[in-house]
Amino acid sequence: MGPKSTAFKVTVSLLLMGLFLPVVGFAQEKASGTVQEATPPNDEELLGKAFGLIQKGAFKEARPILQGIVDRLKEKPALPYVENNTLHMYSHDQSEIIAFSTLDQLPEEKRKELKEKVWPWAIELEKTHPWKNISFENPILPTAYFALAHICTEEGDLKKAMENLKSSVAAWPDYTMAYGEIVYLLIGQKNFEEAKRVAQEAIDKHCQFSPVGRSRLCRHLGYIAIEEGEFDKAEGLFNESLKLEPDNPSAKQELEYIKQQREKKKE
């Protein structure tokens, strides 16, 4: 990150540990709660195998597995879509599953407000393709792109890493981890303005169900603020990170760094 920030050392490899926490693929009927299998188990298992290989540093073995997943799934309809009265949407967060499933139980005004804020795509989609059931599916395709980006980063191909990360968020605009890595790479390139734009847009529009992801993006913005000499702004961002993730050591370390810099100025 440069000489000013002391804690900006997190790389994609640290995020891979426990990142893919699959929800059980199921289709939920709004009225009766009927459950049925939705996510093909083979690609899920293959993705898990690829992650295991990545954690061992076996990138050459993991890459063709991930590329195979991408090649198969990128030809399928992009989620969210409605087919046979069933809405197919990505999620790997149980809180989102509960929130979206219970929208119909809210007063109309509150339901509209939530959709506009969190799921704006649902408003137009529901007008043209109303659904009776909801199939929440693991983000296998975006996660495969994310894992390929990790391999590219480890191999030093940052341009290809960025391409894969952009494909990841194109497949799933709410993929907070991928935004975090895009911002990380932009900071590494000293492209602070674009990094700030991407991070703030992700926080405002795409991180509703990812407090840890929002926390990391706040820290990224905090690192940039330090680099730009805006210590008060940086302090606010790291404190916001701690509100979302109270025990984060990086945020605490940066706050201590800011304190030290202020004390030096007084001397």
Give the DSSP per-residue string, 105-140. GS-HHHHHHHHHHH-HHHHHHHHHS--SEEEEE--H
Q: Is the pLDDT of residue 139 over 90?
A: yes
The pair phi, psi for residue 67, each rounded to 5°, is -65, -35
pLDDT for residue 224: 98
For range 88-96, the mean pLDDT:
90
pLDDT for residue 22: 39
CB distance 79 to 89 below 8 Å: yes
Over the stretch 8-59, which tens digit does the pLDDT of each residue have?
333 333 344 344 443 333 344 443 344 444 545 489 999 999 999 999 999 9
Q: Is the pLDDT of residue 132 over 80?
A: yes
Q: Per-residue confidence at 202, pLDDT binned at 50, 70, 90?
A: very high
CB distance 27 to 133 below 8 Å: yes
Q: Is the pLDDT of residue 4 over 50?
A: no
Q: How far apart are CA 182 and CA 194, in angstroms?
A: 10
pLDDT for residue 170: 97
Bond prior to 246 in cis (omega within 30° of 0): no
pLDDT for residue 266: 79
Q: How far apart are CA 257 and CA 7, in angstroms?
A: 9
For range 209-238, the mean pLDDT:
96
Which tokens is 34 given?
A: 């009927």
pLDDT for residue 17: 38
The neighbouring-strand residues paired with 83 are 86
Over the stretch 114-129, which tens digit does the pLDDT of each residue have?
999 999 999 999 999 9
For range 175-201, the mean pLDDT:
97
Percent with pLDDT over 70 in the chain: 85
For residue 118, which of 217, 205, 212 has the smallest C-alpha distance? 205
Task: Count CB atoms within 10 A of the CB of residue 181.
Answer: 25
CA distances (Å), 53 to each of 30, 46, 63, 148, 206, in order?
39, 11, 9, 12, 29
Q: Which domains occur in the chain, in start order?
A: 21-173 (no CATH), 175-267 (1.25.40.10)
Please tell me which residue, 94 or 196, carries the higher pLDDT value: 196
Helices (H), the chain: 12-16, 41-55, 59-73, 94-101, 108-118, 120-128, 140-154, 158-171, 176-188, 192-205, 211-227, 231-244, 249-266
Q: How far apart are CA 44 and CA 106, in angstroms?
A: 34
Burial 218-233 (b: 16+ CB within 10 A, else e): bbbbbbbbbbeeebee
Q: How far apart are CA 15 and CA 180, in angstroms?
A: 10
For range 247-252, the mean pLDDT:
96
pLDDT for residue 92: 78
Residues 44, 45, 50, 56: is their CA dihedral positive or negative?
positive
Percent with pLDDT over 90 in the chain: 81
CA distances (Å), 155 to each of 57, 150, 152, 224, in order?
11, 9, 5, 25
Q: What's the chain's average pLDDT? A: 86
Q: Is the pLDDT of residue 162 over 90?
A: yes
The pair phi, psi for residue 80, each rounded to 5°, is -85, 145
CB distance 16 to 51 below 8 Å: yes
